[in-house]
Amino acid sequence: MTHAVLLGDSVFDNGAYVRGGPDVVRQLRPLLPGGHATLLAVDGAVLTDVPRQLARLPAEATHLVVSAGGNDALRASGVLDGPARSVTEVLDALATAQDRFRADYRAMLDAVLAHGRPTAICTIYEPRYPDPARRRVAATALAVLNDAVTREAAARGLALLDLRVLCDEDADFANPIEPSVRGGEKIAATIAAFLREAAGQSRGLVFVRP
């Protein structure tokens, strides 16, 4: 029997933002006939919080899905507003942020994979800031961090849920950085698709649609 556990941040723990609508885990459960889904993700969590979530992992968990790193990206976003004397200096600052992110992401994945369950990880979707210029710059900077996510997925043979492609409309967001009911529906359906494929050959697959 499938028992999926959702780890990470408010991409999954979005109940506070959907105004009484169903959060991601409530949308996922009806898609798992005879199965279960448990939410361990916590709004505001960063990569270093995921091992603490794993301390509450149900013994009967069969699959893990992780969406984490968005809040780490927010913490690092100050680099976008800092002074710079050259493009090289900007790229060096982004590379330094990527190095820190990659180290934390690898440590998080080591903790998750130590539990030996089939696992999928998510990219960080692109914020829907009202200012088009801010949105464009943020998406470009996030590409640097998402490179670390996609490389880890490839290197470890993990399934990847690409939320950048999946959540591609303003209606998918309750605010610039949280999924709406519609976005959550897309995410839940794609998790369900991963769980169906996990019975076969999901290792290394990229999921961009349910």
Q: Are strands 178-179 and 173-175 parallel, antiparallel or unpaired?
A: antiparallel
pTM (two decimals): 0.92
Nearest partner of 80 among 95, 90, 70, judged by Cα: 90
Give me the CATH code for the 3-207 domain, please: 3.40.50.1110
- Tokens 């030996």 sit on residue: 116
Residue 89 predicted with pLDDT over 80: no
Ranking 31-45, 46-60, 106-120, 127-141 by mean pLDDT, the lowest is 127-141
Ranking 45-54, 75-84, 173-182 by mean pLDDT, the lowest is 75-84
Return the ∠ at Cα 53 (arms to 16 and 148), rounded to 5°.
90
What would the pLDDT profile of 135-184 be if each residue is shown by its tens digit? 898 898 899 999 999 999 999 999 999 999 999 999 999 999 999 999 99
Residue 10 predicted with pLDDT over 70: yes
Instruction: Find the mean pLDDT for residues 18-22.
Output: 94
